[in-house]
Amino acid sequence: MTMALHCPAEAEIIAREQETRSIVSLTVRLTDTRLADRFQFQPGQFNMLYLYGIGEIAISISSDPASSDTLTHTISDVGRVSHGLTQLDVGDRIGLRGPFGRGWPLQDVRANDVIIISGGLGCAPVVPVIDYVINRREKYGRLIIMQGVKHSDDMIWRERYEAWGAHPDTQVLLAADAGGKHWNGAVGPVTELFDLAQLPTENSVAFLCGPEPMIRACVQRLLEDGLPADRIWISMERNMQCALGQCGHCQFGDRFVCKDGPVFCYADIRHLFGLKGF
C-alpha cells in the first residue's frame, strides 16, 4: 500500500523542537503503519503538510532518508499554514502527502568534492544531503558546508554543524550578516566564506539552497572560480498547491518546480534564473 498522492494521510507529531523564536522542527510519523513502513524519500524531496481546516504547504524533508519511518520538517512561521503548524504540539495530528519532486543528484557525484551552500532556512533541505555524504564519507572527496544567516541568532543547529565539522575532510563555515554576542563565525554575506575555503576544484559539485539573491551571488562566484554550470545544483521555491505538476502555480518557464524540481541543474535553468517575473 502506497500513499495516494492526491489525498493526504494522517500523521502524528512525535517530536517538536523550537529551533529559534520563529522556526520549529516537527518530526511526524504516518499513523497508518503500512504507509509509514513503505515511505521512502530522496534527499531534496518535499512533502505537502496539511493543517486541519486551513490548508497545505510544501516543506522539504530535513531528516535522514535512512530512517524514513519518521520525517522531520523544519518550518519557519511566515504564513497562515506555517504559523498554525509551528503552534502544534506532540500528539497533534496533521495531514501529509508525499514525497514529491526530484532531489539532489547524489548518485551521480560519487568521488567528487561536495560544496553545500545554504542561506537562512535553506539549510533544512540540504541536511539529508550532508547526512547522506557523512554516512558514506569514503565515497566522496572533500565536504565543504557553508551556511549564512541574517543574524547570528537565526543560526540553528550549531551543535550539528560542529559535529559535521569534526568528520575527516569536512569543513564547516558559518556566516551572519550581523553577529551577536558569542558569535565566532564570519560576519558578512555567505560569499565572504569563499575565501576561507579552497574552492572549487574542477572535481567539485555544488548544491545550493536559500534566498535567490544569495544563490545568484554564490553561483556567480562559483562560475568565476571555474566551476562549470552543469556541476551546480539549486533547490528552488515557488507557490505550490497540488505538487503534481497540474495546478500551474510553480511554473518556471517550461518547468514545473514541483515535479521537474525542486532541485535543478543550474545549466538547465540559467536562461531564466534571476529574471524578474519567473
Partner 1 sequence: MTAHSPVNSFLPRKEFGELLSALRFGGYRCVAPKVCDGAIVYEELQLQDQLPTGISIHQAAGSYRLEITDSPRNFDWANGPQALKPFVFKSTESLWTVNRNADGTITFSESTTEPEPVAIIGVRSCDLAALALQDKHFLNSDCVDPHYQARRASLFLVAVNCTHPSDTCFCASTGDGPVAQGGFDLLLDELDDGFVIRAGSKAAQKILQTLPVEAVTGEQEEVITQQNQRAIKCQTRRLPSNNLEQVLFENLDHPRWQAVAERCLSCGNCTSVCPTCFCYSEQDTGTLDLTRSEHVREWDSCFTQGHSYIHGLTIRADTRLRYRQWLTHKLGSWHSQYGRSGCVGCGRCISWCPVGIDITEEVAAIVSGEP
CB count in 10 Å sphere of residue 179:
19
Q: What is the β-pairing status of strands 170-178 and 143-151?
A: parallel
Among residues 5 and 134, whose Cβ is nearest to partner 1? 5
For 198-211, b/e burial (b = at least 16 CB within 10 A) is: ebbeeebbbbbbbb
Among residues 3 and 174, whose Cβ is nearest to partner 1? 3
Q: Out of 15, 54, 187, 267, which residue is the one contacting partner 1 (CB under 8 A)?
A: 54
Q: Does 197 bind partner 1 (CB under 8 A)?
A: no
Tell which phi-psi region holds residue 57, choosing left (phi > 0), alpha (psi between -120 and 50) or beta.
Answer: beta
> What track of x and - describes contact with partner 1 for positions 74 through 103 (by CB under 8 A)?
--x-xx--x--------xxxxx--------
Measured CA to CA, the distance from residue 210 to residue 100 in angstroms comes to: 19
Residue found by looking up cell 515557488 in the block: 238
Q: Does 1 bind partner 1 (CB under 8 A)?
A: no
Q: Does 191 bind partner 1 (CB under 8 A)?
A: no
* Cβ at position 237, least distance to partner 1 in Å: 6
> What track of x and - describes contact with partner 1 for positions 4 through 23 (by CB under 8 A)?
xxxxxxx-------------
Residue found by looking up cell 551521480 in the block: 108
Measured CA to CA, the distance from residue 173 to residue 117 in angstroms comes to: 9
Among residues 226 and 253, whose Cβ is nearest to partner 1? 253
* Cβ at position 185, least distance to partner 1 in Å: 26
Say how many residues touch partner 1, by CB under 8 A.
Answer: 43
Among residues 51 and 133, whose Cβ is nearest to partner 1? 51
Residue found by looking up cell 567528487 in the block: 112
Q: Out of 22, 247, 265, 270, which residue is the one contacting partner 1 (CB under 8 A)?
A: 247
| Residue 206, H or E segment | strand 204-209
Q: Out of 177, 244, 268, 270, which residue is the one contacting partner 1 (CB under 8 A)?
A: 244
* Cβ at position 228, least distance to partner 1 in Å: 23
Which three cell numbers mark 272? 531564466
Task: Using DSSP, state whether 150 is helix, strand or coil.
Answer: strand
Q: Residues in the chain, how many?
A: 278
**Could you list the residues that contact partner 1 (CB under 8 A)?**
4-10, 31, 50, 52-56, 76, 78-79, 82, 91-95, 237-239, 241-242, 244-249, 251, 253-254, 259, 271, 275-278
